[in-house]
Structures are given as C-alpha cells and as structure tokens.
C-alpha cells in the first residue's frame, strides 16, 4: 500500500487562504508547476530558498508514493524590468552591457543555476521547458483570448483586457484584491501608454528596432508578455487543470494573478487546485539587495569569500538552515544562525553515522512507532520541516542514550529507526552526510594549517613573495585563506 493512502497531507492553499486536505485530481498522480528563474544573472540566494522549498515538497510527495510530474521553467525570452510593461528587457540589457548575444547570457546563467542547485542536492524536475521553446504555444493562447473578446490589439501589441475579463470572472481572487480598489488607487495612464487601462497587461509586445529578442507573429515582430509563458508551458505539460502551482510570495501579484486570468479567459475555468507560495529570505534582518550591498551569493557562502560571514559553510549546512523554518515563513540569514545550524547538522550526522553499530536488546525504552508517526504528522501539516527536525532530534537524544547504555532498543525497532532517519534526513530534507569523509578532512586541515603557519612565518620575516605564493597556490587548489584580527582561517570550495 502506498503511504499517501494512510498519511493524510494538508497544504495551505493561497487561493482559499486555508489548509486543505490534499487530494490530487487523479489519484496517485500529482502535476506540479513552479516558476523558474529568469536567467540574466547568478541565481539569488532567496530564489534558491524558494526552489529548495519545492524540491522538499517534490521529495515528500514522491516519498508518499505519488507519481509526480514536476515542471519548472527557464525564462530565457527576457521580459521587461517593470511589471507595468515598461523598461528594458532584462536579458537584452545584460547582453548589451557585456557586449554578447542574449543567448550567451542565457547559457551562462542557466549553467550557473544548475551548478548551484546541484551543490544544494536538488532533484532535477521532470521537465524543464524554456520560454523561447514555446513561442508558438504562447501565440496560440493569445489568439484564443482575442477570439473570446478578453484582449485587444493596438499598434502591433496585444493587451489583456482586465475590466472586460472581470465582468465574467474575478480578477484578483488569489491576492485578495478588488479591481475597483485597484482602479481607484491608480494614477491616470501616461500619455505614451497605449493600454486602455493601467491594470491591463501585455500578452504580446511590439519589438522596437533596437529590441534584440523578437519573433514573428500575426501582429508583427515582437515578444510575449512575461505572464504568458507559464500559462503556455503548464498547460502543455500538465493539462488545463493540474494540482499544484508554486512560486515565491512576490509572484502572487501580478504574475500568478495574471496566469489565472489568462487560463480562465482561454479555457473557461481555473487552472490550478492548490496554489503554494514560499516566503522570502532576509540577510541580517534586512531585505537582500545588490544596490545596498546587503547581498550574498551561494558560492560566496560555500567558499567563505565574502565580508559578511566569519567562515565558509557547506551547501548541506545552508540547506539544513533553510529547512529549520517553515517554507511560508520569512527566514533571516546571519552568521550566528549558520553557526548554530552547523552545530545542529553535525550533531544529526554524528547520530546517523553510528546507527548501524547500535546495540540491541530484548525491548525498547521508547515508542519508536509513535515517534515515526510524529515525523509524518509534521510533514503532513503543510510540510512543517521545523517540527520534523525537532522530532528528528528527539530521535537523536534516544540514539545517544542507547549508545551510552542508558536505554535499550529492540532489533525490530532499530530497523524502523534507521529507515525513518534515513528517509526523512536524506530522502525528504535532501541533506547529505559530509561527515563520512571526516578523516580526509582532518588530514587536509592539518596540511593547510601547516602551510598557514609557514605563511605567517614568511610574513613575519617580511618575505611577502613566499607568503603570496602560498596564498595563491592554495587558492588555485580551491582553498581560500581569510585573514582577520583573530588570525587566518580557510575554506574549501565545494
């Protein structure tokens, strides 16, 4: 029997603002779509948190026995910087600044995205479609929306008519906004704006002569609106009705709201049963932003090559840190939080590493089956990973008591304990046991510490040539030295 038949999962549905029993449209099968990155820069750590949340959800659904088709797109067509359909195409802007082709930008940052997710031990999605690979599908949806009267063409561009749509459907139901309030709080259209109403959004934009990324269409050369690609790709691979649509909270409005409107306008019904949204990641209590310098990239955490953290942290430690907060909660990253997570992660891995060697007795001193169900209860409550981790550490406490000879565990319960710990720690949370290579790490640390000592001696003797040579050759091998008032520390690139 599949686990999903006995484990009853509830999810928080943004559409109803309540927790609902998860019942897929087709029993045993789940269709899940998650908005992927716009590949014009290195993947943001906050984006990694969103994708990690849905990687965990994907893992748990598979663990329960569901056959999951997980679709996560790549936005490689470029969309305008402003949600109001103004500004410059992000990918084209990057290409212009770096004097390369737009698809070179796309390739570079798609590779970076995949490399970072691989370091975090993500499972690949079932399908990873690109926006540029589905221009035809997007044009067909625009035709359908025009035919049904919910869009209009003007000056070779096509816009979605939100007021017309709202006469038959409800625009704003996902974000809880009323169109009347939006209209009353909106300034008049600028003279150069060709839309009928400020709330209308682009389905197809005419490409000006300087616009690099462009495709032919019935309305002239142009490019699709940002919201349209997700409607086209989710519909193609998951159908007009599917189970889960995920993304960051920041996408709820206008992006996901517009997706619903497009699908209802073209298909006549709401596309998604459960809308799930992951919350943001802050840094030292403030919003992450490149403009303010309050920003850090994943690789900068892994190498320690940054001015924010005291040392490097492995991808598994960062993943464990992120799993300690519920995916719908704001999570603040700081040096102290990562140091605490590192200690917790190491404690968890030490307990797991010694599981096979646990002595067994005739009876068990704690109810292993009740503990296992508590782990499932946590995950069944809208994927509550912090409660799951608290339960896992309850298991760690008993493991340590058994090691010390203060508690007993039967042979049967030992098998359940090992299976449960491995399932939730590695299969569901997606952690990796880096403690397995502890002896090699100790040897490496010893060698690097010796070289640091030799470098310090060279610096004291004002032999800066030798000092720099040690630093540079270690850097070439992926070992970064970091000098501070407290001394020199090092980190190893993953």
Domain range list for the chain: 3-278, 302-432, 438-492
Q: In what order do the strands lie in the sheet with 281-283?
A: 286-287, 281-283, 331-333
Model pLDDT, residue 438: 47
Beta-sheet pairing, 29-34 with 331-333: unpaired
CB 475 within 8 A of CB 481: yes
Q: What does the DSSP assignment read for 56-102?
A: HHHHHHHHTT-EEEEEE-BB-S--BSSTTS-S-BHHHHHHHHHTS-H
CA distance 36 to 374: 33
Model pLDDT, residue 487: 79
CA distance 455 to 448: 10
The tokens describing 110, both together, are 């798609």
CA distance 50 to 48: 5
Do domains 3-278 and 302-432 share one topology? The answer is: no
- Range list of β-strands (E), 339-420: none
Closest by alpha carbon to 474, among 448, 439, 444? Answer: 448
CA distance 62 to 30: 9
Q: Compute, in degrees rounded to 10, the torsion defined by CA atoms 194, 198, 203, 205.
A: 40
SS3 readout for 362-392 = CCCCCCHHHHHHHHHHHHHECCCHHHHHHHH
Q: Give 158's strand partners.
A: 153, 204
Find all residues with CB under 8 Å of 107, minimum gap 6, and list them.
Answer: none
CA distance 364 to 407: 8
CA distances from 298 to 37, 66, 138, 184, 302 (A): 15, 31, 33, 42, 6
CB 68 within 8 A of CB 58: yes
Find all residues with CB under 8 Å of 447, minimum gap 6, and list them.
Answer: none
The tokens describing 156, both together, are 């070779």
User: Candidates 3.30.1330.30, 3.40.50.460, 3.40.630.40, 1.10.730.10; correct CATH number of 302-432?
Assistant: 1.10.730.10
* ∠ Cα 477 478 480 (to 5°): 115
The tokens describing 249, both together, are 């909270």
Phi/psi for 205 (5° steps) reads: -115, 135
CA distance 444 to 449: 8
CB 458 within 8 A of CB 464: yes
- Range list of β-strands (E), 92-241: 151-154, 157-160, 201-206, 222-224
Model pLDDT, residue 343: 97
Q: How many CB atoms lie within 10 A of CB 294?
A: 15
CA distance 50 to 63: 20
Is 171 in a helix, a strand, or coil?
Answer: coil
Closest by alpha carbon to 116, among 69, 49, 57? Answer: 49
Model pLDDT, residue 441: 58
- Range list of β-strands (E), 177-218: 201-206
Model pLDDT, residue 493: 63
User: How confident is the prediction along the chain (494 residues), in pLDDT tens digits per residue?
Assistant: 899 999 999 999 999 999 999 999 999 999 999 999 999 999 999 999 999 999 999 999 999 999 999 999 999 986 664 555 666 788 988 888 899 999 999 999 999 999 999 999 999 999 999 999 999 999 999 999 999 999 999 999 999 999 999 999 999 999 999 999 998 887 666 545 789 999 999 999 999 888 889 999 999 999 999 899 999 999 999 999 999 999 999 999 999 999 999 999 999 999 999 999 999 999 999 988 777 878 999 999 999 999 999 999 999 999 999 999 999 999 999 999 999 999 999 999 999 998 999 999 999 999 999 999 999 999 999 999 999 999 999 999 999 999 999 999 999 999 999 999 999 999 999 999 976 544 455 667 778 888 998 898 888 888 888 988 898 888 878 788 888 766 787 777 65
Find all residues with CB under 8 Å of 291, minimum gap 6, and list them.
Answer: none
Closest by alpha carbon to 63, among 337, 372, 344? Answer: 372
Is 260 in a helix, a strand, or coil?
Answer: helix
**Count of H-run helices and E-run strands, the chain:** 16, 15
* ∠ Cα 234 238 244 (to 5°): 80
- Range list of β-strands (E), 290-419: 331-333
* ∠ Cα 417 423 428 (to 5°): 145
Closest by alpha carbon to 62, among 114, 19, 126? Answer: 126
For the domain bounded by 3-278, which CATH number is listed?
A: 3.40.50.620
Question: Please, what's the b/e burial string for 101-113 (b: 16 or more CB within 10 A of its CB; e: otherwise)?
Answer: ebeebbebbbebb
């Amino acid at each position: 029997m599949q686990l999903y038949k006995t484990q009853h999962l509830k999810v928080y549905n943004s559409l109803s603002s309540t927790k609902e029993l998860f019942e897929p449209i087709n029993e045993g099968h789940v269709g899940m779509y998650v908005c992927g990155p716009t590949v014009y820069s290195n993947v943001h750590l906050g984006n990694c948190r969103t994708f990690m949340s849905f990687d965990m959800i994907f893992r748990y659904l598979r663990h329960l026995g569901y056959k999951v088709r997980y679709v996560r797109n790549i936005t490689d067509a470029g969309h305008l910087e402003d949600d109001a359909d103004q500004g410059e195409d992000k990918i084209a802007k990057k290409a212009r600044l770096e004097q390369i082709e737009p698809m070179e930008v796309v390739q570079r940052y798609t590779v970076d995205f995949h490399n970072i997710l691989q370091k975090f031990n993500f499972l690949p999605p079932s399908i990873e479609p690109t926006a540029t690979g589905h221009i035809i599908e997007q044009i067909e949806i625009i035709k359908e929306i025009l035919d049904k009267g919910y869009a209009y063409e003007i000056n070779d561009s096509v816009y979605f008519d939100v007021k017309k749509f709202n006469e038959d459907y409800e625009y704003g139901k996902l974000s809880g906004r009323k169109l009347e309030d939006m209209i009353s709080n909106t300034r008049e259209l600028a003279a150069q704006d060709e839309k009928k109403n400020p709330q209308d959004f682009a389905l197809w934009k005419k490409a000006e002569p300087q616009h690099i990324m462009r495709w032919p269409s019935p309305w002239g050369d142009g490019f699709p609106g940002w919201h349209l690609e997700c409607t086209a790709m989710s519909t193609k691979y998951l159908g007009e009705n599917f189970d889960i649509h995920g993304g960051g909270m920041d996408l709820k409005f206008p992006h996901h709201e517009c997706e619903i409107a497009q699908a209802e306008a073209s298909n006549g019904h709401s596309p998604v049963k459960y809308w799930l949204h992951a919350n943001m990641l802050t840094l030292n209590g403030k919003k992450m932003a490149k403009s303010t310098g309050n920003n850090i990239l994943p690789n900068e955490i892994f190498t320690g090559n940054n001015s924010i953290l005291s040392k490097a942290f492995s991808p598994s430690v960062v993943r464990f840190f992120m799993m300690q907060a519920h995916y719908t909660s704001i999570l603040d990253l700081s040096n102290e939080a990562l140091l605490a997570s590192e200690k917790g992660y190491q404690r968890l891995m030490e307990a797991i590493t010694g599981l096979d060697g646990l002595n067994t007795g005739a009876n068990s001193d704690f109810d292993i089956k009740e503990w296992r169900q508590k782990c499932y209860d946590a995950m069944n409550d809208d994927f509550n990973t912090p409660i799951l981790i608290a339960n896992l550490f309850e298991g760690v406490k008993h493991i340590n008591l058994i090691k010390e000879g203060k508690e007993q565990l039967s042979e049967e319960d030992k098998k359940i304990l090992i299976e449960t710990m491995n399932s939730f720690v590695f299969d569901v949370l997606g952690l990796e046991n880096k403690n397995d290579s502890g002896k090699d790490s100790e040897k490496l640390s010893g060698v690097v510490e010796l070289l640091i000592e030799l470098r310090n001696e060279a610096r004291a003797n004002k032999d800066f040539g030798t000092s720099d040579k040690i630093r540079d050759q270690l850097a070439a091998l992926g070992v970064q030295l970091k000098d501070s008032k407290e001394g020199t520390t090092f980190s190893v690139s993953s």
